């Protein structure tokens, strides 16, 4: 065994993973761009329809300013809206008892793969089955199984900065 970690995941770790995945991952960049621009695009279409409908110049100026302000607020507040949505979803899941993460696990990393052992299950994963590895600076290492699911290794699991840096280099090399 090369590395062994006692993993403790909390709501904040799960929130940070979801926030990172939605706002920062390359897989979601196009979706995020569309999400940011769809309200302004709808307003542009509505403005064009009003302009074609022979509205008064005062009404068109008012609509242009109103739609412009709402669009600007939407574009600037998108990350806040998503953050709020993620936090609300986590609270709902916790209330129902349907958490999508295990709060504690043991992860062991070997030359050919790694295992995650929880109180209910044990998973064995070969490195060639890893989709990608991402580092959320100051927070955690995410070892993706596919485009949406990942093992979360929070920085708190590492004994030192040196161990964290060595592990990131190791897992990045193994999961190529």
pLDDT tens, 49-72? 888 887 788 888 898 999 999 999
Is the distance from CB of 107 to CB of 114 less than 8 angstroms?
yes
Q: Name, in order, each residue with C-beta under 8 angstroms of 19's C-beta and a sequence gap of 6 or more.
A: 82, 83, 86
Token pair recorded at residue 52: 């074609």
Enclosing H/E stretch for 34: helix 29-52
CA distance 61 to 40: 16
Alpha carbon distance 68, 34 (integer Å): 17
Q: What are the structural domains of the chain?
A: 3-9+100-174 (2.30.29.30), 16-96 (no CATH)
Report pLDDT digits (tens) over 128-161. Answer: 999 999 999 889 999 999 888 899 999 999 999 9
Report which secondary-structure segment, H or E, holds 8. strand 3-8
- How confident is residue 162, by pLDDT bands cut at 50, 70 and 90? very high
- Total-model pTM: 0.78
- The per-residue pLDDT of the chain, averaged, comes to 89
């Amino acid at each position: 065994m090369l590395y062994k970690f006692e993993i403790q995941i909390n709501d904040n770790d799960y929130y940070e993973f979801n926030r990172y995945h939605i706002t920062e991952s390359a897989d979601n960049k196009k979706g995020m761009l569309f999400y940011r621009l769809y309200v302004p695009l709808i307003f542009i279409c509505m403005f064009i329809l009003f302009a074609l409908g022979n509205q008064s110049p005062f009404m068109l100026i008012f609509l242009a300013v109103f739609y412009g302000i709402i669009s600007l607020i939407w574009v600037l507040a998108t990350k806040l809206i998503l953050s709020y949505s993620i936090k609300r979803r986590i609270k709902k899941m916790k209330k129902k008892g349907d958490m999508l993460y295990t709060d504690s696990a043991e992860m062991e990393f070997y030359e050919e793969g790694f295992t995650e052992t929880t109180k209910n299950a044990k998973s064995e994963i070969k490195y060639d089955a890893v989709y990608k590895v991402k580092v959320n600076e100051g927070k955690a290492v995410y070892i993706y199984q596919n485009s949406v699911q990942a093992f979360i290794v929070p920085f708190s699991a590492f004994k030192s900065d040196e161990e964290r840096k060595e592990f990131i280099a190791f897992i990045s090399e193994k999961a190529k």
